[in-house]
Structure 1
Amino acid sequence: MTLLKATKLSKVFGGLRAVSNFSLEIQPGELVGLIGPNGAGKTTAFNLLTGVYEPTSGEIEFDGKSVVGLKPYQITQRGIARTFQNIRLFANLSVLDNVKIAYHFHVKYGLVESVLRMGRYHKEEEEIRQKAIQFLKIFQLEDKKDEIAKNLPYGEQRRLEIARALAAQPKLLLLDEPAAGMNPQETHQLMDMIRWIREKFDLTILLIEHDMSLVMGVCERIYVLDYGSIIAHGTPAEIKNNPRVIEAYLGEEVH
């Protein structure tokens, strides 16, 4: 079964059509890229897929069920997690608390147990703490668990954001420009991490990225967006040599 299917999505802001007839399909276990020039509509497409925006028209199905009209937290509960182009951590909370928060989508204790700190509350909170620490170990952040998130170096903040997204136990992970602000060595390490987390967590991944070395290095299929519409779709080799893609990036017709 197709894991994610977007069909003829459009989003209009006033008179501006940010996304037009956007369609894509992702199968379980795939690692797919979404690329395009600045202003092409990539982040708007991500925001549609994750419930930040509701489409003006079109359909989104995840795991065989429509998610149109659901709130972002409801979509996360269904199994889609994301990171953001501009890192959105809980800046003034500790590294550990940033990851613990993601686990609270799955707690079983109720409001009364939480307020009175009774029943299942203590047992589940301790389980969440241990799971969060294990995640921080995986991402080499355990020794920073008590630090305030905003005080981490940029690369570690990016790792923490990915760790937090994975702690929500998604089936599909959306990465919005994960290499933004990284140097070539950090980007290479990120490529290895993306491959590793797909295998480790049995994930399907969709990523937006401007760094072509990263996209071509990790993605099996690539969609290309320009002026809000998909203009090409194929393997990295097919996309690299596609005249319409070259024209969109260079701004001139290729003969």
Structure 2
Amino acid sequence: MTEVLKLNQLTKLFGGLTAVSQVDMTLNKGELIGLIGPNGAGKTTIFNLLTGVYVPSKGDILFMGKSISGKKPYQVTAEGVARTFQNIRLFADLSVLDNVKIAYHWHGKYNLASSLLRLPGYFAGEKKMTEDAVELLDIFNLADKKDEIAKNLPYGLQRRLEIARALAAGPKLLLLDEPAAGMNPLETRDLMDLIRWIRNEFNLTVLLIEHDMSLVMGVCERIYVLDYGKIIAEGLPDEIKANPKVIEAYLGEEVSYA
């Protein structure tokens, strides 16, 4: 198995607060892994460490065998890591098409001079990015919405657009931060099918943060459980369901695996 991501004793301190403590985690190529835990457990902090928003206080992050600890977010994106956010972060006043094209500009073929001087390379590059963006939107059943303003889309379609934009960056590892937040049960079931399809179609490794346990248990192949910044359990979905430490961590919270 090819190791895509490895966290070694990853730790993040904010003053006297330890948000993430000595986390070890491994993701192999093609896996679809869940990261769960109560609110405030440190899940999004881990995503922010993986994407260069935060710098680790201790430990290391290895991506495709190379350390990315301390790299800037744009450098992490260039390595092949893309993410979505718990709160949708689209360019709300731009069109659906432009939201995706922005991500394609990351690996555009023309240079600054071509853009400023409007040379043939610029027009050829823009044409190719537009074609690629429309093709990706079509995959997500959004091509007919390409000229709509992003903020005018229904919530579920905004989620789809955010995932499409992340894929336009050409990642090897996709990080999904609570993609089912705000969705109804039907939208969540559709999302579950979409995540599986994305993993297979785009040959990705996926790490998923989610509070909807039906989605986590239905789509993830292995699950890590975080509590107070520490990994308290790791295993198959059925093992996690029955783990006493996991049950205890969720006491007082309504958890449904249906």
Give the TM-score taking structure 1 as reference length: 0.97
Structure 1 residue 120, shift from structure 2 partner: 1.3
**Identical counterparts, % of pairs:** 71
2: CA distance between counterparts of 1:64 and 1:109?
A: 30
Instruction: Find the counterpart in structure 2 of residue 60 from structure 1.
Output: 61
Report the AA paired with residue 191 of structure 2. L
2: CA distance between counterparts of 1:62 and 1:157?
A: 29
Report the AA paired with residue 156 of structure 2. G
Alignment of 1:21-32 (within 5 A): 21-32=22-33
2: CA distance between counterparts of 1:72 and 1:153?
A: 29
Report the AA paired with residue 39 of structure 2. N
Structure 1 residue 104, shift from structure 2 partner: 1.0
Report the AA paired with residue 27 of structure 2. I
Query: Are 2:118 and 1:117 aligned?
Result: yes
Structure 1 residue 49, shift from structure 2 partner: 0.7
Query: Are 2:187 and 1:164 aligned?
Result: no
2: CA distance between counterparts of 1:33 and 1:183?
A: 20
Q: Single out whichever of 167-176 and 101-110 deviates more from structure 2.
A: 101-110
User: Aligned with 1:195: secondary structure?
Assistant: helix
Structure 1 residue 251, shift from structure 2 partner: 5.2
Instruction: Find the counterpart in structure 2 of residue 147 from structure 1.
Output: 148
Query: Are 2:179 and 1:173 aligned?
Result: no
Structure 2 gap segments, 5+ residues each: 254-258
Instruction: Find the counterpart in structure 1 of residue 79 from structure 2.
Output: 78
Question: Over aligned residues, Cα RMSD in angstroms?
Answer: 1.0
Query: Are 2:93 and 1:92 aligned?
Result: yes
Instruction: Find the counterpart in structure 1 of residue 214 from structure 2.
Output: 213
Structure 1 gap segments, 5+ residues each: none
Give the TM-score taking structure 2 as reference length: 0.96
Structure 1 residue 108, shift from structure 2 partner: 2.4
Instruction: Find the counterpart in structure 2 of residue 243 from structure 1.
Output: 244
Report the AA paired with residue 37 of structure 2. G
Query: Are 2:132 and 1:131 aligned?
Result: yes
1: CA distance between counterparts of 2:119 and 2:83?
A: 33
Give deviations 1:24-48, integer Å, cap 9, x for gaps.
Answer: 0000000000000011000001100
Instruction: Find the counterpart in structure 2 of residue 46 from structure 1.
Output: 47
User: Aligned with 1:85: secondary structure?
Assistant: coil
Give deviations 1:83-139, integer Å, cap 9, x for gaps.
Answer: 000000011111000000111111121111111111411101100000000011111
Structure 1 residue 151, shift from structure 2 partner: 1.0
1: CA distance between counterparts of 2:73 and 2:109?
A: 20
Report the AA paired with residue 35 of structure 2. L
Number of aligned residues? 252
Report the AA paired with residue 227 of structure 2. D
Report the AA paired with residue 87 of structure 2. N
Give deviations 1:159-187, integer Å, cap 9, x for gaps.
Answer: 00000000111111000000000000000
Report the AA paired with residue 165 of structure 1. A
User: Aligned with 2:48: secondary structure?
Assistant: helix
